[in-house]
Structure 1
Amino acid sequence: MHLLIACAGSGRRMGAERNKLLLEVCGRPVLAWTLEAALASASIRWIGIVGQAVDREDIEALVAAADAQVPVVWIQGGDTRQDSVCNGLAALPEGASSVLIHDGARCLVEPALIDRCAAAVQAGAAVIAAAPVTDTIKRVDGSGVIQDTPDRSVLWGAQTPQGFAVEQLRQAHAQARAEGWSVTDDASLFERLGWPVKVMESSPSNIKITTPFDLTIAAAVLAGR
Structure 2
Amino acid sequence: MHLLIACAGSGRRMGAERNKLLLEVSGRPVLAWTLDAALASSSVRWIGVVGQEIDRPDIEALVEAAKPDRPVQWIQGGDTRQDSVCNGLAALPSQARSVLIHDGARCLVDPALIDRCSAAVDSGAAVIAAAPVTDTIKRVDADGVIQDTPDRSVLWGAQTPQGFPVEQLRQAHAQARQEGWSVTDDASLFERLGWPVRVMESSPSNIKITTPFDLTIAEAVLSSR
| TM-score (normalizing by structure 1) | 1.00
Match of 1:85 in 2: 85
Residue 43 of structure 2 aligns to which amino acid in structure 1? S
Matches within 5 A, 1:9-88: 9-88=9-88
2:6 maps to 1:6: yes
Query: How much has 1:134 moved relative to structure 2?
Result: 0.2
Q: Which portions of structure 1, spanning 4 or more consecutive aligned residues, are displaced by more than 4 angstroms?
A: none
Match of 2:216 in 1: 216
Q: Secondary structure at the match of 2:143?
A: coil
Match of 2:106 in 1: 106
Match of 2:129 in 1: 129
Query: How much has 1:137 moved relative to structure 2?
Result: 0.1
Query: How much has 1:95 moved relative to structure 2?
Result: 1.5
Q: Deviations over 1:41-82 (max 9, x none)?
A: 000000000000000000000000000000001000000000
Aligned counterparts of 1:61 and 1:4: Cα–Cα separation in 2: 18
Query: How much has 1:26 moved relative to structure 2?
Result: 0.5
Q: Secondary structure at the match of 1:158?
A: strand
Q: Deviations over 1:163-210 (max 9, x none)?
A: 000000000000000000000000000000000000000000000000
Aligned counterparts of 1:219 and 1:206: Cα–Cα separation in 2: 13
Query: How much has 1:220 moved relative to structure 2?
Result: 0.4
Aligned counterparts of 1:218 and 1:204: Cα–Cα separation in 2: 12
Aligned counterparts of 2:28 and 2:73: Cα–Cα separation in 1: 20
Q: Secondary structure at the match of 2:56?
A: helix
Aligned counterparts of 2:97 and 2:115: Cα–Cα separation in 1: 16
2:115 maps to 1:115: yes
Aligned counterparts of 1:43 and 1:27: Cα–Cα separation in 2: 28
Aligned counterparts of 1:120 and 1:92: Cα–Cα separation in 2: 20
Aligned counterparts of 1:50 and 1:184: Cα–Cα separation in 2: 16
Q: Secondary structure at the match of 2:96?
A: coil
Q: Secondary structure at the match of 1:13?
A: coil
Residue 169 of structure 1 aligns to which amino acid in structure 2? L
- Aligned alpha-carbon RMSD (Å): 0.2
2:163 maps to 1:163: yes
Match of 2:149 in 1: 149
Match of 1:176 in 2: 176
Structure 2 gaps, min length 5: none
Q: Secondary structure at the match of 1:31?
A: helix
Structure 1 gaps, min length 5: none
| TM-score (normalizing by structure 2) | 1.00
Q: Secondary structure at the match of 1:153?
A: helix
